[in-house]
């Protein structure tokens, strides 16, 4: 209030009595101060609401359960039956968890984990051994038996963690991004240790299969060893490949006070049981089962010794013609492949995987993806991820992920500079068009009005241009309009509107002082309403983000959409008051140029993450070295439904690292190796007499 009075005392003496009402101005400024103070108090109050950790944890349970159920279904290839893999306890040299049993299996994993003290477990195994599936089973089992005092298990991708950051900060960020929790709620849950971190893929933090003492993996383990609850180490679960974990143990780095369990290879008995439960006609698989049973150490048994490979085999060889029901491939082909090596079996299955799932899962809109095109697009992303991993690439102080496909952070696929330069180009195009149109509408001079009219847009352009280029990793904005359907959300919006309208009134008075009474009355009213609504909506949305009623899962595509919509909405809200007063005062041509130009500037400034994503799409067209589909988000979502990728929080990941490595190692040569555009209503190839289709012969 004191600041408002000082502004009035210093400003109003210079105004003439006929131009503005001094008393009204003082009242408006006083109301502004009161409104801002009330808004500040409301913000403090709302920040500490919804921090009851018991209630917040109960809401988080619902979101985590849904996410992990979907993940389990997708990891199992659209089935509900798992392989009951066995695991054995592998003690470290020292600092092991107490009460760890010598062995266990997937069905017993919840009881096994609850028995150890403290609750710290490391799940290791060979590639494809089922580490993630075992972790998901543990999460769902813990949620089913959870009491109000138990922490909520939350799965995170290890590759998304910069180990130089505290564990707590990483957990909070994940809860906010992946589950849409308010910041205050996430901080309260993490501080109270009501979140059990299940960190998946520790081995994916480094490309080296023998990580050293200064590797990201070793740094992460040392950080996790300092993560405590009161006087003991905090509970957690890790997954890591056996080879990498053993290399870390060799340099005396491991998860202290934890029970390391190692998943055993799938036995012929378990493989037979799995095949019988998953296939329609077990007799087609009998020779394969007889071979792995009679020769458990052979290439075929080794090639099918993991749940991932068995799932691949079932997906590929249970593929049927949708018209006739005939099987398109014969499982006995696996025996021929096994005459070479287990790696030949692996590559054979991976080569047939994309054609099989592409034929089985086609988009519902009537279009059709070509298997070779799907493979080409996925190869672009696989090569980008593998380059990040093998070269340890960093950008803007952040290591580029070797596993995570995050849409608003994928722009380096097109190069370090091109998407950023394209964003700057958007700004230049707007003002190259707007500036000549504006100049022909106004006389050139140096009056205060002309200087203000030219200086403000120029400063805005410079600020937006600098911010667009200098911000390497723009943070996406988010607006949850769903909150407006609740009474609390509507009250929040009303409070924001009240504060915003006061701000709008003050802007109107300023216009009146500068441009005269007539312009101030008409323009001030327009600015009051439009700016007031804009600030009110923005305040209501921002307050709502801090106190959401329910936790929810963030769709990886929703982040870009929300960023673009929020930026565009705020741009429109600011473009209207920039052009409407001029329109009402008679300068319609000027208003038609100024309003959209200002709105676009605000949009480019508010929604930089979405704009950067648009730059990525423009830089990865068919004529480029790295062609990606224009509807990249829709394509990745289809890949998720087809089982080619999985979701990990706000990121997509390849279904298995073997698939990512295979695509990278077998990528086609040439600059434009991508296949034709999607076809419509493409027919499925007729099966051959030996049970193999033309689709199956590609990519082997």
pLDDT surpasses 90 at 247: yes
pLDDT surpasses 50 at 696: no
Read off the pLDDT of each residue in 543-568 and give the average, rounded to a whole number: 66
Q: How far apart are CA 577 and CA 596, in angstroms?
A: 11
Q: What is the pLDDT of residue 103?
A: 97
Residue carrying structure tokens 């990512």: 660
Q: What is the pLDDT of residue 35?
A: 54
What phi and psi values does residue 212 have, to the nearest 5 degrees? -90, -175
Element (H, E) at 653: strand 651-654
pLDDT surpasses 60 at 548: no
Give the count of beta carbons closer than 10 Å to the beta carbon of residue 49. Answer: 13
Contacts of 423 (CB under 8 A, 6+ apart): 468, 469, 604, 608, 611, 612, 615
Q: What residues does 556 pair with on adjacent strands?
A: none
Q: How far apart are CA 526 and CA 87, in angstroms?
A: 70
Read off the pLDDT of each residue in 245-261 and give the average, rounded to a whole number: 96
Q: Dihedral sign for Cα 599, 602, 606, 610, please.
A: positive
Read off the pLDDT of each residue in 435-446 and give the average, rounded to a whole number: 61
Contacts of 546 (CB under 8 A, 6+ apart): 43, 46, 47, 182, 183, 184
Q: Which residue would you say has higher pLDDT here, 149 or 494? A: 149
Read off the pLDDT of each residue in 80-96 and give the average, rounded to a whole number: 92
pLDDT surpasses 50 at 248: yes
pLDDT surpasses 60 at 133: yes
Read off the pLDDT of each residue in 373-379 and give the average, rounded to a whole number: 95
Query: In this predicted model, what pLDDT tens digit does every residue of 221-235 receive, in sequence order?
Result: 999 999 999 889 999
Q: What is the pLDDT of residue 391?
A: 87
Q: Could you tell me if 448 and 513 are in contact, meaning their C-beta atoms sit under 8 angstroms apart? A: no
Could you give the 3-state DSSP secondary structure of residue 698?
coil
Structure tokens at 179: 């589950």
Q: What is the pLDDT of residue 675?
A: 40
Q: What is the pLDDT of residue 365?
A: 65
- Mean pLDDT score of the chain: 79
> Is residue 23 classed exposed, middle or buried when 0-12, 13-18 and 19+ CB atoms within 10 A define those classes?
exposed
Q: Could you tell me if 258 and 299 are in contact, meaning their C-beta atoms sit under 8 angstroms apart? A: no
Based on its alpha-carbon atoms, the radius of gyration of the chain, rounded to whole angstroms, reads: 30
Read off the pLDDT of each residue in 345-369 and give the average, rounded to a whole number: 85
Q: What is the pLDDT of residue 197?
A: 97
Among 39-48, 110-119, 447-456, the range with the most confident prediction by mean pLDDT is 110-119
| DSSP H stretches of helix in 145-179 | 167-179
What phi and psi values does residue 434 have, to the nearest 5 degrees? -75, -40
pLDDT band at 607 (very low <50, low <70, confident <90, very high): low
Q: Could you tell me if 348 and 337 are in contact, meaning their C-beta atoms sit under 8 angstroms apart? A: yes
Q: Which residue would you say has higher pLDDT here, 80 or 364? A: 80
Q: 611: closest CA among 435, 467, 395?
A: 467
Q: Which residue would you say has higher pLDDT here, 521 or 548? A: 521
Instruction: Indicate the pTM of the whole model.
Output: 0.76
Read off the pLDDT of each residue in 659-679 and give the average, rounded to a whole number: 64
pLDDT band at 691 (very low <50, low <70, confident <90, very high): very low
Q: What is the pLDDT of residue 688?
A: 34
Q: How much helix, strand and coil, in percent to the nearest 5, is found in the chain?
A: 60, 10, 30
DSSP 8-state class, residue 681: S
Q: How far apart are CA 404 and CA 339, in angstroms?
A: 36
pLDDT surpasses 60 at 27: no
Percent of the chain with pLDDT over 70: 68
Q: Which residue would you say has higher pLDDT here, 131 or 531? A: 131
């Amino acid at each position: 209030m004191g600041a408002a009075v000082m502004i009035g005392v210093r400003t109003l003496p210079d105004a003439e009595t006929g131009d503005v009402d001094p008393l009204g101005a003082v009242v408006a400024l006083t109301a502004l101060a009161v409104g801002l103070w009330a808004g500040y108090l409301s913000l403090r109050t709302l920040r500490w609401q919804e921090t009851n950790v018991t209630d917040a944890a109960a809401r988080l349970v619902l979101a985590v359960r849904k996410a992990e159920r979907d993940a389990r279904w997708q990891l199992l290839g659209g089935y509900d039956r798992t392989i009951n893999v066995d695991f054995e306890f592998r003690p470290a040299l020292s600092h092991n968890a107490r009460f760890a049993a010598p062995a266990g299996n997937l069905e017993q994993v919840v009881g096994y984990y609850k028995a150890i003290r403290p609750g710290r477990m490391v799940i290791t195994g060979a590639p494809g051994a089922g580490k993630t599936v075992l972790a998901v089973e543990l999460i769902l089992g813990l949620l089913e038996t959870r009491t109000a005092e138990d922490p909520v298990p939350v799965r995170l991708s290890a590759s998304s963690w910069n180990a130089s950051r505290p564990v707590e900060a990483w957990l909070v960020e994940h809860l906010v991004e992946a589950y849409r929790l308010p910041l205050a709620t996430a901080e309260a849950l993490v501080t109270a240790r009501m979140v059990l971190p299940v960190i998946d893929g520790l081995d994916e933090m480094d490309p080296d299969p023998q990580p050293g003492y200064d590797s990201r993996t070793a740094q992460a383990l040392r950080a996790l060893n300092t993560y405590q609850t009161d006087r003991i180490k905090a509970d957690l679960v890790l997954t890591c490949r056996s080879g990498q974990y053993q290399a870390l143990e060799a340099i005396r780095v491991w998860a202290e006070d934890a029970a390391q369990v190692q998943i055993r290879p799938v036995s012929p008995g378990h493989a037979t049981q799995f095949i019988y439960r998953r296939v329609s006609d077990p007799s087609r698989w009998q020779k394969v089962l007889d071979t792995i049973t009679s020769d458990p150490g052979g290439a075929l048994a080794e090639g099918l010794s993991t749940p991932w490979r068995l799932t691949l085999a079932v997906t590929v060889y249970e593929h049927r013609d949708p018209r006739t029901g005939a099987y398109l491939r014969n499982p006995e082909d696996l025996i021929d492949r096994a005459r070479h090596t287990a790696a030949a079996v692996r590559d054979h299955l991976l080569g047939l995987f994309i054609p099989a799932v592409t034929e089985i899962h086609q988009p519902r809109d009537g279009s059709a993806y070509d298997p070779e095109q799907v493979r080409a697009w996925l190869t672009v992303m696989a090569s980008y991820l593998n380059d990040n991993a093998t070269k340890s690439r960093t950008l803007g102080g952040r290591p580029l992920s070797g596993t995570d496909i995050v849409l608003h952070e994928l722009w380096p696929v097109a190069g370090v500079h091109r998407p950023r330069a394209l964003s700057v180009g958007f700004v230049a195009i707007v003002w190259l068009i707007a500036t000549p149109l504006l100049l022909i509408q106004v006389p050139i001079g140096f009056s205060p009005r002309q200087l203000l009219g030219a200086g403000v847009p120029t400063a805005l352009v410079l600020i937006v241009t600098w911010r667009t280029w200098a911000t390497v990793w723009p943070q996406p904005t988010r607006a949850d309009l769903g909150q407006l359907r609740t009474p609390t959300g509507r009250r929040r919006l009303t409070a924001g509107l009240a504060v915003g309208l006061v701000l709008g009134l003050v802007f109107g008075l300023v216009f009146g002082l500068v441009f005269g009474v007539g312009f101030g009355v008409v323009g001030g009213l327009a600015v009051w309403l439009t700016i007031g609504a804009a600030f009110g909506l923005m305040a209501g949305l921002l307050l709502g983000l801090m106190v959401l009623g329910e936790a929810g899962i963030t769709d990886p595509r929703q982040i870009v959409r929300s960023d673009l919509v929020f930026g565009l909405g705020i741009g429109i809200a600011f473009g209207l008051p920039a052009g409407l007063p001029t329109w009402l005062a008679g300068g319609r041509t000027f208003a038609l140029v100024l309003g959209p130009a200002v709105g676009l500037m605000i949009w480019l400034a508010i929604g930089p993450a979405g704009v950067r994503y648009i730059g990525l799409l423009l830089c990865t067209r068919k004529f480029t070295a790295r062609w990606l589909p224009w509807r990249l988000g829709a394509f990745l979502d289809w890949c998720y439904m087809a089982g080619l990728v999985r979701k990990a929080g706000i990121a997509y990941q390849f279904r298995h690292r073997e698939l990512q490595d295979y695509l990278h190692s077998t990528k086609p040569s040439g600059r434009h190796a991508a296949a034709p555009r999607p076809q419509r209503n493409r027919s499925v190839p007729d099966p051959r007499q030996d049970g193999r289709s033309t689709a199956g012969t590609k990519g082997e």
